[in-house]
Chain A
Amino acid sequence: MIAAPSAERAQLALDGVAKRFQARDRVVHALEATTLTVAGGEFVTLVGPSGCGKSTLLNIISGLTPASEGSVRLDGRAIAGVSRRVGYITQQDNLFPWRTLRDNVALPLELARVAPGERRDRADHWLARVGLEGFGDAYPHELSGGMRQRGSIVRTLIYEPPVILMDEPFGPLDAQTRIVLQDMLLSIWEGARSTIVFVTHDLTEAVALADRVLLMSARPGRIVRADRVDIPRPRNIFQIHEDPEFRRLYTEIWHDLRLQVQDANTLGR
Chain B
Amino acid sequence: MPTRSGVDGLAVERAAGRPGVRWLFDADRPWAVNGGRVAALLVLFGLWELGAGRLFDIFYFSKPSLIVAQVGKEVVDPSFYRDLGVTSLELILGYASGGAAGIALGILLARWRYVAKICDPFLLALNSVPRIAVAPMLIVWFGIGIASKVFLAATLVFFITFFNTLSGIRGVDKALCDVVRVQGGSEWQIFTKVMLPHASAWILTGLKMSLPFALVGVILGEFLVSSKGLGFRLNSYATSYNTSGAITMILLMMLLMMALTAVADLVDARVMRWRPSDREAGGVAPKA
Give the B-binding residues of A (Cβ under 8 A).
Answer: 62-64, 82-84, 86-88, 90, 92, 94, 96-100, 107-108, 110-112, 139-141, 155, 159
Residue of B nearest to A64 (CB): B178
Residue of B nearest to A85 (CB): B184
The 25 listed contacts between A and B (C-beta, < 8 Å) are A62-B182, A64-B181, A82-B181, A83-B184, A87-B182, A94-B173, A94-B176, A94-B178, A94-B179, A96-B176, A96-B179, A96-B193, A96-B197, A97-B274, A97-B275, A99-B197, A107-B180, A111-B180, A111-B184, A111-B189, A112-B184, A140-B274, A141-B275, A141-B276, A155-B179
Residue of B nearest to A96 (CB): B176
A84 touching B274 in the complex, CB below 8 Å, given contacts A90-B175, A96-B176:
no
Name the distance in Å between A122's Cβ and chain B's nearest Cβ. 14
Residues in A with CB closer than 8 Å to B185 are: 111
Name the distance in Å between B111's Cβ and chain A's nearest Cβ. 20
Q: How far is B175's CA from A140's CA once the two chains are assembled, in angstroms?
A: 16
- Whether the pair B193, A111 counts as a contact (CB closer than 8 A) is yes
Contact of B198 with A by CB under 8 A: yes
Contact of B270 with A by CB under 8 A: no
Q: Which of A64, A139, A141 contacts B182 (CB 8 A)?
A: A64
A88 touching B198 in the complex, CB below 8 Å, given contacts A94-B176, A97-B275, A139-B273:
no
Q: Which of A63, A82, A98 contacts B200 (CB 8 A)?
A: A98
Q: How far is B181's CA from A62's CA once the two chains are assembled, in angstroms?
A: 10
4 tightest Cβ-Cβ pairs between the two chains A and B: A84-B184, A141-B276, A108-B183, A98-B274
Interface size class of B (residues with CB under 8 A): 20 to 34
Give the A-binding residues of B (Cβ under 8 A).
Answer: 173, 175-176, 178-185, 189, 193-194, 197-198, 200, 273-276
Total CB contacts across the A-B interface at under 8 A = 60
Residues in B with CB closer than 8 Å to A84 are: 183-184
Q: How far is B185's CA from A155's CA once the two chains are assembled, in angstroms?
A: 14
- Whether the pair B198, A159 counts as a contact (CB closer than 8 A) is no
Q: How far is B184's CA from A159's CA once the two chains are assembled, in angstroms?
A: 11
Name the distance in Å between A23's Cβ and chain B's nearest Cβ. 20
Given A84-B183, A86-B182, A111-B193, 5 extra CB contacts under 8 A: A84-B184, A98-B275, A100-B274, A141-B276, A159-B183
Q: Which of B193, B198, B274 contacts A107 (CB 8 A)?
A: B193
Residues in A with CB closer than 8 Å to B178 are: 64, 88, 94
Residues in B with CB closer than 8 Å to A63 are: 182
Residues in A with CB closer than 8 Å to B182 are: 62-64, 82, 86-88
Name the distance in Å between B169's Cβ and chain A's nearest Cβ. 14
- Whether the pair A98, B197 counts as a contact (CB closer than 8 A) is yes
Residues in A with CB closer than 8 Å to B184 are: 82-84, 108, 111-112
Name the distance in Å between B280's Cβ and chain A's nearest Cβ. 14
Q: Which of the listed residues B193, B194, B200, B274 has the most CB atoms from chain A within 10 Å of its own CB?
A: B274
Residues in B with CB closer than 8 Å to A88 are: 178, 182
